[in-house]
Amino acid sequence: MKTPTFRQLAQVLVVFVFVWMAHALSPALSPSGAQGGPPQIPHPIQFRENCLLCHSRNIVGVPRIPDDHAGRTNELCRNCHVPAAATPAPAAGGAPAVPHTLQGRENCIECHIPAAGGAAPGQPPAIPHTLIGRENCVACHEKGVAGAPPFPADHAGRTSDMCQACHQPGGAEEAPATSATPAAPAASGGPPAIPHTLDGRSDCVACHEKGVGGAPAFPADHAGRTSDMCQGCHHPASGGAAAAVAPSVPVPTPIAHPPAQEGVDTCVECHAGLGGKQAEMVEQWKRSVHSERNVSCADCHGGNPSGQTVDEAMSPAAGYIGVPAKADIPAQCASCHADVNLMRQYDLPTDQYAQYLQSTHGSRLAQGDTNVATCYDCHGGHEILKKDDPGATVYPTNVPTLCSGCHSDKTLMQPYGIPTNQYELYRPSVHGTALLDKQDLRAPTCASCHGTHGAAPPGVNEVSNVCGTCHSATQDHYRKGPHAKAEATSSPKCVTCHGNHDVSQPSEEMFLGTGPRHCGSCHPQDSPTGFKVTQTYDFIQKAAKAYEEADASIKAASERGMLVSAEEGLLQNANTQLVTARATQHNLNVDQVFDLTNKATEAATKAKAGAEAAIHETIFRREAMVVAIAAIAVTVVALYLLKRQLDKHLHTDK
């Protein structure tokens, strides 16, 4: 047999490689979906270009991406997988074949009957409304809120993004309604129109959840809806409906007016040149936090800050409103301060307006009472300083004077039947002394107990909670005692024994006597409760006396230069037990008070004994020192006399 040459072997190898490559590449060269090739896409690509949106999740009826496809993009998907061939034409008299499997898609009507004017046959049904304010499909369609079609069973777990990837609005989307372009009134049978602009009043829930200020309250089936959902269906009516709104309802704000251009603000330039009060307002504004944050005249008064003439700058066409009406001020301030996106950068709360609407001030303003305080009355107008600036009207040490400006005015308070001596009572109280004399900012002000923007007097059942914000340990014990558990509204509260504005320094003397705020005013001394009161007084007094004696002994020992650190530790322990006993007595448990005061007395007694021992030691040392000094003196004298005697003998011998 003839041996093959090298050329023949090379030819055979080339043929083998060619055949192998042809076999390996055949799936890619063959039509998509051929045996062994990538499966075809059984649906149209339009509106469903984002393959990963559905196929990367475990959605019912949707094949999930295999593990070896992790990290691939939508473009890579469509490089291998292509749509199936167009639906074959029906045979004579027959229906077209279904171009996809029926698994998870047995209900044809769900997809193949579009909304009027919406998707073409074979496409997902169109969305019959605009997406403005209604982007959250799940919020309504997951459970069929207010008649919205609920999700089909095979759509469970899908997100709003997935909904909008397949379903598109049936018509052109509406532009958002604004004060400049209000939406048309609702058609017959449609959602009622909003009778005012949305400027400064975009938080529908704040007023309509509970019907604040006469606003229509939510229907029962609207519970849980958000302001965005409200505005998705309801739009401002056209025309001047806002003019008919009561003054206490939020008004449009000129915040949207154009700012000064290129650093020019003709409002500031003009008023500064007028001198007097007008120039002073400019200087006040320059010192304010608003000036620091570029909130200028036009942001509150409207107008054109770039106008070169008075008529141009203060033109009503430019939104100039002049001095805002008092009833409109809270809503105008809220147009910025209730804006979460705007205030987030300054870390400022955005619920002040909502609190104000619920406050005594806000509710009376909504009823047309313009004597109440607004933002301007507390924070000022042009010179609004940061709340931590000692010059600010709302700085803690300035708050009592600020509130008393109205609440000490007898003429102003007379129609409301409110007393006007609160400041007179607060000033010498333990709280007033700490805040105003000692400048202790931990001491409560009017706002600490009554609130700031939500100002209102605490209810009877709220008092212990208000006081408990500072006196938490005392509150805990009080709530466990019979006073707190008594159902009668006349049962003792914090203010019964300590007062409200005129809180005095508490002492054990309150356990004695029958005067106001003393235990005996309710519990006679010979009653069972009176006996417990007397026991409590005795226990605390005994511990307090032991503490005072130990403290005096330790100070005396320290002044003598003795080390008494161990005794000081015992004294600190005694003080802790005594303070705890004074708080615990509010639960009226005499046994607990005895246990604590007994521990305090024992610790104080040990501390006193140690200090006295140290004092006795100093006395012994001093006595020993005197003896030693005397002995030394005697020795010195004896030596001196001996020396003289020796000197005398030496002189005689010579």
Contact 547, 575 (CB under 8 A): yes
| Residues sharing a CB contact under 8 Å with residue 137, sequence separation 6 or more, in sequence order | 160, 163, 164
Do 397 and 461 sit in the same domain of this protein?
Answer: yes
Number of domains in the chain: 4
Q: Give the chain's mean pLDDT.
A: 79
**Domain match, 579 and 512 both:** yes
Query: What radius of gyration, in Å, describes the C-alpha atoms of the chain?
Result: 43
Closest C-alpha among 509, 420, 494 to residue 463:
494
| Neighbouring residues of 416: CB distance < 8 A, sequence distance ≥ 6 | none
Cα–Cα distance measured from residue 560 to residue 457, given in angstroms and rounded to the nearest whole number: 55
Which of 227, 212, 308, 194 lies closest to 260 in space, CA to CA?
Answer: 308
Q: Are residues 435 and 541 both part of a single domain?
A: no
Residue 434 located in a structural domain: yes
We report the CATH number of the domain holding residue 520 as 1.20.140
- 135-139, 362-366, 474-478: least confident range: 135-139
Same domain, 28 and 106: no
User: Which structural domain range is residue 620 located in?
Assistant: 508-635
Q: Within this chain, do residues 344 and 463 fall inside the same structural domain, yes or no? A: yes
pTM value > 0.85: no
Q: What is the band of 560 on the pLDDT scale with cuts at 50, 70, 90?
A: confident
Checking if the pLDDT of 213 tops 80, the result is no
Q: How confident is the model at residue 370 (pLDDT cuts 50, 70, 90)?
A: very high
Confidence tier at 154 by pLDDT (50, 70, 90):
confident
In a domain, 647, yes or no: no
* 443 domain-assigned: yes
240 lies in a domain? no
Q: 523 vs 204, 237, 535, CA distance in Å?
A: 53, 66, 14
Indicate if the pLDDT at residue 243 is higher than 50: no
Instruction: Tell me the pLDDT tens digit for each residue of 63-92.
Output: 788 888 877 777 778 777 877 764 444 444
8 Å CB contact between 43 and 84: no
In a shared domain, residues 405 and 534: no
| Per-residue model confidence (pLDDT) at position 247 | 35
Residue 541 falls within a domain, yes or no? Answer: yes
| Residue 474, in any domain of the structure | yes
CA distance 65 to 316: 62
Query: Is 426 in the same domain as 280?
Result: yes
- Tell me the mean pLDDT in the region 342-367: 91
User: Picking from 2-6, 195-199, 539-543, which range would have the lowest pLDDT averaged per residue?
Assistant: 2-6
417 and 334 within one domain: yes
Answer for the pair 140, 222: CB distance below 8 angstroms, yes or no.
no
Share of the chain above pLDDT 90, in %: 30
Q: Do residue 297 and residue 438 come from a single domain?
A: yes
φ/ψ (deg, to 5) at 83: -60, 150
Q: State pLDDT tens for residues 25-62.
A: 444 444 444 445 678 887 777 667 778 777 876 555 67
Final residue belonging to a domain, choices 480, 498, 516: 498
Where do we find the tokens 């006469």?
214
Evaluate whether residue 14 is within a structural domain.
yes
Which among 498, 526, 544 is the end of a domain? Answer: 498
| 201 in a structural domain | no
Q: Which pLDDT belongs to residue 121? A: 52
Inter-residue contact 61 to 103 (CB < 8 Å): yes
Higher pLDDT, 173 or 509: 509
Let me know whether 31 and 57 are in one domain: no
Predicted local confidence at residue 624, as pLDDT: 77
Is residue 483 pLDDT above 90, yes or no?
no
User: Looking at 116-130, 167-181, 348-362, 479-493, which range is the least confident one?
Assistant: 167-181
| Type of residue found at 594 | F
From residue 647, how far is each of 638, 641, 642 by CA, in Å? 14, 10, 9
In this structure, are 446 and 323 located in the same domain?
Answer: yes
Together in a domain, 31 and 61: no
